[in-house]
Amino acid sequence: MKSLLVLFLVVVCAFPALASDCATVLGPQKADAASLDRVEDAWNEAFNRGNTEYLECLLVPDFVTVTPHGKRDRAWELEHARQNRGSTAAIPHFSGTVFQIEGSTGIAKLYKPASADGQHPATQLADVFTFQDGAWRAVYSQHTFVEGK
């Protein structure tokens, strides 16, 4: 009984510690487009450099990306980020992201033109966020190829 109580106390005490860790990892934010813009950049960098600690905090447990090739869940995102650890390759940056904020819901929308080598078609991308406990959390992403471009 005593060990159960100790275990319960450890678990209960650990939760706020985890939450405050994520607040530190994600950094101070506001429910505005400027913060969301910084989060998008940080996400891009975390993925391309394998910073899974950042992604663990950013992505909600049931985060999913829908692409023309199928669905990718949070575990996929973390695993592929992990493979980028130690990478020094240039991180691709795309300008022209449009931010839409409706209270605690935010969307980052981007039209990505086709790559010059013809390998990647033009794509419409959207990342959906919710503002929780002082930080933007990524909930959902979707990619759609643009026909004829």
Partner 1 sequence: MRRIVCTVLLCGSALPLIAQDCHKILGKQKPDAASIKQAEDRWSQAYTQGRIEYLECLLTPDYVSVSAKGMPRDKAAIVSGAQKNAQQNKGKTDGKSKTLPDLPEPKIQLYGNSAVVQSSLAADPNGKYPAMYSSDVFAFQDGVWRAIYSQHTPVETKE
Site string for partner 1, 12-31 (x = CB under 8 A): --------------------
Q: In this structure, what token pair is assigned to residue 83? A: 């493979």
Residue type, 13: C
Residue 83 Cβ vs partner 1, minimum distance, rounded to whole Å: 23
Interaction with partner 1 in 80-139: which residues (CB under 8 A)? 100, 102-105, 107, 109, 122-124, 126, 128-132, 137, 139
Q: Give the whole-angstrom CA distance, residue 60 versus residue 55.
A: 9
Name the 3-class secondary structure at 59. Answer: strand
Q: Which residue, chain included where needed, has tokens 């934010």? A: 29
Is-contact 75 3, C-beta < 8 A? no
Q: Which is nearer to partner 1, 87 or 144 (CB)?
A: 144
Query: Of these, 52, 67, 84, 97, which contacts partner 1 (CB under 8 A)?
Result: 67
Q: Which is nearer to partner 1, 28 or 70 (CB)?
A: 70
Q: In this structure, what token pair is assigned to residue 22? A: 């994520």
Q: Which region among 1-9, 65-73, 77-85, 88-96 touches partner 1 (by CB under 8 A)?
A: 65-73
Q: Give the whole-angstrom CA distance, residue 97 versus residue 107.
A: 10
